[in-house]
Amino acid sequence: MAGFLKQFSCILCSMMLLFCGGMHIGWSITHFNMSGNQWAVGISVDEYRFAILSFFTGCGFILLIVAATKTLLPTRVWIMLSAFFFMINGVFFVAMPTYYAATVATRIVAGFGHGICHAVSIIYVGEIASRNYRGKLVAMLVSSIIGGIALFTVLSMVTTNPIFIVEPNMHANRAVGIVILSLSTFALLMAWFLVIESPLYTLTTSGNETLARTNLIKLRGLSMESPSVMDEFEDMKTLASESESLSPFFLSQGNFPPFQLVLLVKLANLLFFNYSMNTAKMSLMSLMFTLTLFTHNWAPPLLMLSKFAGSVFAILIIDLLPGDGSCMAFRPPSPVRLCSRSVLYWQRTT
């Protein structure tokens, strides 16, 4: 348990930042009353769409940079850079919540922060987590995003009317900015004091075995070496030495076909789940309520809070089930997923 708490403290700052990113994802995909904001009055359809896509534009752009430069900076620096981008977004959302240009520009900046944190945190957890806790820690990162989406649906519901009538006492952007500025500031400090560098990163970049071994002992919550830790460290040394002999380009060594498959499935899931299906579900659930210009639409909060509850439940049981069992429990197989599993199985066995 000491090892789990130490590893959890290392990713807590990442969870805060992914929560902030989740609020921006919710801003894009669950903001039923977006036209009720003052900044949305009088803008064109294209400007409206760009406001929705601006965050994802920033994410996509920065992910390409992170993919090419990840090893140049330690994890702590990447996380602090992510927090800095979110702090910029939070400041402008608090100070200028009704300006379209400020909204779009700083959502792109927030996309930079989310893209950095999402990519770096997943890699970081994969490198530092104990085998027994890896699934739980990754599930916590994902749950943080869903939690951010859920919180935004509540903030949007209580601060925004279906159409703009008068400026509310608390603007939705300002409420989001207050939360993001607070969390990102704490995350910046926690990244500096709590993040322990991955032993695998240390081995592959500097080759400092003493520092890498010390970090591994800290991550396992121990004060001295143990046989299991030393066996794990030897495995890391082997992995680091093998990585140096492989091509640095991630699409070589036969990785391109599975990369194409995963990219296709991810894009299909993005288009299917993150916007179209959520919009359809929320529209259908909205029929349960009698809606006027001044009543709250509980459909988005109910939908996303139920997803958040499911993600929390997944954290509790994910390490109790095998990988296929946990996937089947939370998401019944579809033709696309079954086809993907078949192709991946074929890739592993040929």
Q: What is the full DSSP assignment across 29-44?
A: HS-TTGGGSGGGTT--
Q: What is the mean pLDDT of the chain?
A: 80
How open is the CA angle 269-107-54, to the nearest 5 degrees?
50
Digit-coded pLDDT (tens) for 45-63: 888 888 888 999 999 899 9
Q: How far apart are the first and last CA of the chain?
A: 40
Instruction: Specify the range with the lowest mean pLDDT, choosing from 89-103, 178-192, 270-284.
Output: 270-284
Closest CA to 256 of 347, 193, 194, 329: 347
- What is the Cα–Cα distance from 82 to 171, expressed in whole angstroms? 25
pLDDT for the residue 348: 46
Q: Tell me which residue of 182, 179, 141, 172 sits closest to 30, measured CA to CA.
A: 172
What pLDDT, on the 0 to 100 scale, is given for residue 318?
80
Instruction: Quote the pLDDT of residue 294.
Output: 57
Count Cβ atoms within 10 A of the Cβ of residue 268 and give its class: 0-12 exposed, 13-18 middle, 19 or more buried. middle
Across 269-279, average pLDDT: 62
Q: Residue 344 above 90 pLDDT?
A: no
For 69-85, the pLDDT digits (tens) are: 988 999 999 999 999 99
| Cβ proximity of 57 and 110 under 8 Å | no
pLDDT at 29: 82
**Given this model, what pLDDT does residue 184 score?**
97
Instruction: Give the HSE-up count for residue 252: Cα atoms under 13 Å, Cβ half-sphere.
Output: 6
Q: Which two tokens stand for residue 193?
A: 């004091």
Nearest-5° angle of CA 176, CA 177, CA 179? 65
Greater pLDDT, 163 or 197 = 197
The pLDDT score that the predictor gives to residue 240 is 75
Could you tell me the CA-to-CA distances from 266 to 93, 337, 346 in Å, in that order?
A: 30, 11, 19
pLDDT digits (tens, 9 = 90+) for 192-205: 999 999 988 888 88
Lowest mean pLDDT of 90-94, 124-128, 319-323, name the range.
319-323
Helix axis angle, 172-194 to 2-29, nearest 10°: 160
Is residue 155 predicted with pLDDT exceeding 60? yes
DSSP, res 277: I
Confidence of residue 342 (pLDDT cuts 50, 70, 90): very low
Give the residue, 214 or 37, on which the prediction is more confident: 214
Most confident of 35-44, 268-277, 288-297, 341-350: 35-44
